[in-house]
Amino acid sequence: MSLITALIRAASESGEPAAVLPEYAPLLLLLPLGGFLLTAAIGRRLGKLAHIVPLLAIVATWALSMSLAVPALLGDLGEAGASRELFTWIASGDLTFSMGIHVDALTGALLLVVTTVGALVHLYSVGYMSHDPGYWRFFAYLNLFMFSMLLLVLASNLLVVFAAWELVGLSSYLLIGFWYTKREPGLAAKKAFITNRVGDVGFALGLMGLVAVFGTLDIPTVLAGVAAGELTGTAATVIALLIFCGAVGKSAQFPLHVWLPDAMEGPTPVSALIHAATMVNAGVYLVARMSPLFAASPEAMLVVAAIGIFTAIFAASIAFTQTDIKRVLAFSTLSQLGYMFAALGVGAWVPAIFHLITHGFFKGLLFLGSGSVIHAVDGEQEMPKMGGLAKKIPITYATMLIGTIAIAGLPPLAGFWSKDEILGEAFKFGYTWVWLVGLVVAGATAFYMFRLMGLTFWGKSRIREDVHPHESPWTMTLPLILLAIPSIGIGVLLGFPVADGIIVHGLEPIFHTANEMLGHEHAKWQLFGIDGILMLASVTVASIGTAIGVRLFRSDNGDRIRAITARLQPLYVGSKGRWFFDDLNDLIFVRLGGRVAHAAWWFDRRIVDGAVNGVGALTSSGGRGLRQIQTGRVQNYALGIALGLAAMAIAYLVIGS
Amino acid sequence: MSMIAGHLEPYLVLSGLLFSIGSFGFLARRNAISMLMSVEIMLNAVNIAVVAFGAFVPALAGQGIAFAMLIIAVAAAEATVGLAIIIAIYRNRKTPLVDEYDTMRQ
């Protein structure tokens, strides 16, 4: 009887029932986790067949996630999305952390990129890693990463998000240092891990702040509390900025950007999956997810926008002169992530996530393409030793050209739609400086990407005589082709008509609270008005960048380029040296920090340990001295007693009288 | 309470002499039994002094004897325990000489 009443009460209390995810939803997490565990356990014995289980697991995950992401993006799950409580993870007094998964349009956007690029990268790796002795280990790690990343975007509790945040960091560490017998990958892995730790400290402190204020880390509860005005003023700014610290680390924004270029030491599929399309987006996702918190603090928003747009132009300026093909793409990733943060900072939430999606596809494509190029020229990564590859590897060339046009922001490919929306909203919300810098970066992006294409594919061949370039196997070219399709079409599909497309309808409700707090209203989009002019401006700048890039690098223009670099010598040297940020870090943290640490070590050894050991030594030497009077002869002790008594008696007589 | 004739001083001198003999014996003798006997002499020296005070000082009348009885009882107990310890040690060490009881000394 009591059970029935309890059930009735539970049913009536839930009020407006949020949609419940289907029962198979946890499989999204269990499939990659199972793939990881199975491959880790028996993968070594499977040899060249080790990819079958992980690949099938990810393809199944992709199918499942599409069945959730598509309705979520189309708004079929309702504005609040759907969730499913799995179990209570930690119950400690009043503090409870539950493990639940939640899918709304924002999660759907992430799922779309993560599982699609993830599945294609798995397929690509079958070809790319086929000669590697650590074949099974690679797939085990990839599945572990997929599990962690999906947990990150699905979790409905910030503590689970934090755990997943660390798990993707671990997977990233393992995969960057995949070739652990070589020195550089090991160092790069450590650098990535340690740099991320710096940001994660901030993230953890921010979470503690949220627990202190709200007593829970359940995302909907926290966001509802923020929206109700329970967290304002300095407290909101501090907590928002602390959480942003985590995002800065994971998404490699200035000044924690140094790890991402070095992370290119890992295998190329890893660069494409983790360090371009998925993990580095986690920071953008986090800020977007916590949008009301940031909206509650104008100062925090300003910091986000400033750091984002600064990273965008800073990284773009470095990408101009790098010669390693993957490094150029890495700096390009930094720059594009900076774009997304700038968008978040000005309150252009939807364009930021839109750019996250399009960037995930075309940057994944570009990285996989660069892997195909490296594969073709026998492991060479330096662009000055390439050239003229267009005819030798036509599929790679064609797909990479699509990716390049997409990232350059030329219509009608994907990058144009999202980038234009970011710039347009930045301008309309009154952040003219963000718009202006963003416009310059858009031109710069087009330029350095066509420089990459020129050095790699056009002009005369500078490849070593004994290397014969060859097109990659189908397992590698098929993912390129499959990624080229969204790189062309996803912008139109999601973003057209502008300000009224699927992406806007899907994501707008998510950011409704934040927009209301900021007082942002969306004016109707006008082709023959301000929006048309802004669009024309961004297309013009992108075209100029493209034109200069193509003109300079179409054929062998070595003398002309050398003349230009000679004229801009200081800028060239600074850009080439990545504005000496690694050297600055070396100076501050390794040399000066090392000195301080050495002094602290000396202080600890001499003063702190010295005090403790000194007390010990004093006691033991005192004891050794006092031992001399313990003769062990009863008479001596008795004499002592007698003398003592006599002394006391005399003292009594003298003082007492 | 009947008063004893004479003075307090001779009793105290006797007590002091006995105490000195006891102390000397305790400090000078090496035999544990002798040392125990010296302790008994010292206790009895004190007893004489206490009883003498009880007899000659009006304020302490009667109390001295009670205190002396207590000391006799303590002395008996002390002798019992002391002898038992000495015999136990003697059985172990085969010597009554205290300066050879130095196992605890490093």
Give one DSSP letter per residue of A319-344, joined into a string.
HTT--BHHHHHHHHHHHHHHHHHHHH
Ranges assigned E (strand) in A168-233? none
Secondary-structure breakdown of chain A: helix, strand, coil percentages, each rounded to the nearest 5 = 75, 5, 20
Partnered with residue B31 across adjacent β-strands are: B97
How far lies A627's CA from each of A621, A633, B103, in Å?
Answer: 10, 13, 15
Q: Residue A141 CA to chain centroid, in angstroms?
A: 17
Task: Choose among A508, A523, A514: nearest CA to A350.
Answer: A508
Q: What are phi and psi of A101, to 5 degrees?
A: -115, 145
Contact (CB<8Å) A635/B99: yes
User: Could you give the number of structural domains in chain B?
Assistant: 1
State which H helix or E strand residue A19 sits in: strand A19-20
Chain B CB contacts of A631 below 8 Å: 105
For residue B53, tell me if it sits in a domain.
yes
Q: What are phi and psi of A394, to 5 degrees?
A: -65, -40
Contact (CB<8Å) A632/B104: yes
For residue B51, tell me if it sits in a domain.
yes
pLDDT digits (tens, 9 = 90+) for A32-46: 999 999 998 888 888
pLDDT of residue A114: 92
Q: What range defines the domain where residue B35 resides? A: 9-95
Q: ipTM above 0.85?
A: no
Facing A635 at nearest CB: one of B27, B102, B105: B27
Ranges assigned E (strand) in A72-162? 82-92, 95-103
Question: What does A586-622 look like in DSSP terms, one character per residue?
Answer: IIIIIIIHHHHHHHHHHIIIIIIHHHHHHHHHHHHHH
Chain A CB contacts of B28 below 8 Å: 635
Burial of A375 (0-12, 13-18, 19+ CB in 10 A): buried
Chain A CB contacts of B99 below 8 Å: 633-635
pLDDT of residue A385: 83
End-to-end Cα distance, chain B = 58
Q: Which residues of chain A have pLDDT under 50?
A: 1-17
Contact (CB<8Å) A633/B104: no
Task: Write down the pTM of the prediction.
Answer: 0.77
Is the model's pLDDT at B16 over the cut of 90?
yes
How far lies B90's CA from each of A97, A376, A633, B87, in Å?
Answer: 73, 98, 16, 5
How far lies A465's CA from each of A468, A554, A555, in Å?
Answer: 8, 22, 20
Is A232 in a helix, a strand, or coil? coil
pLDDT of residue A17: 47
Q: How far is A614 from chain B (nearest CA, A)?
A: 25
Chain A CB contacts of B30 below 8 Å: 635
Count of A–B CB contacts within 8 Å? 25
Contact (CB<8Å) B99/A638: no
pLDDT of residue A559: 74
Bond from prior residue into A133 cis (ω within 30 degrees of 0):
no
How far lies A145's CA from each of A125, A152, A164, A513, in Å?
Answer: 14, 10, 10, 32
Q: Distance between CA B19 and CA A653 in Å, rounded?
A: 19
B59 touches chain A (CB under 8 A): no
Chain A CB contacts of B101 below 8 Å: 632, 634
pLDDT of residue A13: 41
B35 touches chain A (CB under 8 A): yes
**B48-72 average pLDDT score:** 88
Q: Across the beta sheet with A95-103, what order do the strands follow?
A: A19-20, A82-92, A95-103
Task: Choose among A598, A581, A555: nearest CA to A260.
Answer: A581
Facing A639 at nearest CB: one of B27, B35, B106: B27
Chain B CB contacts of A632 below 8 Å: 101-102, 104-105
B98 touches chain A (CB under 8 A): yes
pLDDT of residue B97: 85
Give the CATH number for residue B66.
1.10.287.3510
Task: Choose among A525, A517, A518, A533: nearest CA to A499.
Answer: A525
Contact A303, A244 (CB under 8 A): yes
- The whole-chain average pLDDT of chain A stands at 86
Is A103 in a helix, a strand, or coil? strand
Half-sphere exposure of A460 (CA within 13 A, CB side): 5
Facing A632 at nearest CB: one of B28, B35, B102: B102
For residue B46, tell me if it sits in a domain.
yes
Provide the sign of the torsion angle of the four alpha carbons A601, A604, A607, A610, taken in this order: negative
For residue B19, tell me if it sits in a domain.
yes
For residue B100, tell me if it sits in a domain.
no
pLDDT of residue A347: 87
Contact (CB<8Å) B26/A633: no
For residue B83, tell me if it sits in a domain.
yes
**B15-20 average pLDDT score:** 94
Contact A140, A108 (CB under 8 A): no
- Residues 611-640 in A contacting B (C-alpha not used; CB under 8 Å): 627, 630-635, 638-639
For residue B104, tell me if it sits in a domain.
no
Is A530 in a helix, a strand, or coil? helix
User: In the structure, what pLDDT confidence band is assigned to residue B3 with cuts at 50, 70 and 90?
Assistant: low
Chain B CB contacts of A633 below 8 Å: 98-99, 102
For residue B57, tell me if it sits in a domain.
yes
